[in-house]
Amino acid sequence: MKKSLESLHHNFNKIRTGRAHSSILDSVTVDYYGGQVPINQVASVNVEDARTLSVVPWEQSMVPKVEKAIMTAELGLNPASAGNVIRVPMPMLTEETRKGYIKQARGEAENARVAVRNVRRDANGDIKALLKQKDITEDEQHQAEDAIQKLTDKFIGEIDKALESKEHDLMQV
């Protein structure tokens, strides 16, 4: 369940909020000597100001490759290189794109809820198997199922809080 929540936070970091944040480029991979590597392994990604990222490749020859990788990553970003520094301005979000991102965030949150419920289902199935094998009593089964349900409720509550926070971030102008 904890991994589902961590995955949700990771997916939320990919959804941009209009503010510059270095984790926006975490999913970008660059062709580096024939292999695809994450951008943070070939360049340093820094927040220059609230609306601009600066990417400085460690090798001068990587500047065009990094710039192309950012453009083709389908993040809606248009980098501009000046020497060996690539600046990535964050475009203003329109009301329509904000609503689209909120819809995407809600979908990610629902996927996380489903993952948590699947963990609950698997755990309850294991408990029923133990009961069938006479390894635990019915009282222990009910106690374990109650504990699992409380844990499930706790994680779903945390998912809802994370979604609410992300929606609030997306709606800020």
Domain borders along the chain are 20-89, 95-171
Position 18 scores a pLDDT of 62
Position 20 scores a pLDDT of 67
Which of 12-16, 29-33, 161-165 shows the lowest per-residue confidence on average (mean pLDDT)?
12-16
Position 57 scores a pLDDT of 87
What does the pLDDT look like over 46-72, one tens digit per residue?
A: 888 877 888 888 888 888 888 888 888
Query: How sure is the predictor about 110, in pLDDT bands with cuts at 50, 70 and 90?
Result: very high
The token duo for 136 is 């635990």
Cβ(105)–Cβ(12) below 8 Å: yes
Cβ-in-10-Å burial (0-12, 13-18, 19+) of 141 comes to middle
Question: Which run of H or of E encompasses 52?
Answer: strand 52-57
What does the pLDDT look like over 75-105, one tens digit per residue?
A: 777 888 888 888 888 777 778 878 888 888 8
Of the candidates 100, 66, 69, 71, the one whose C-alpha atom is nearest the C-alpha of residue 84 is 66
6 compared with 74, residue with greater pLDDT: 6
Q: How far apart are CA 127 and CA 21, in angstroms?
A: 44
Q: Can you name the CATH fold of 20-89?
A: Gyrase A; domain 2 (3.30.1360)
Percent of the chain beyond pLDDT 90? Answer: 24
Residues 32-52: b if buried by 16+ CB within 10 A, e if exposed = beeeeeebeebbebeeeeeee
User: What average pLDDT does the segment 13-19 reach?
Assistant: 68
CATH number for 95-171 (one of 1.10.150.120, 3.40.50.720, 1.10.132.20, 3.30.1360.120): it is 1.10.132.20
Q: Is the pLDDT assigned to residue 16 strictly greater than 80?
A: no
Percent of the chain beyond pLDDT 70? Answer: 96
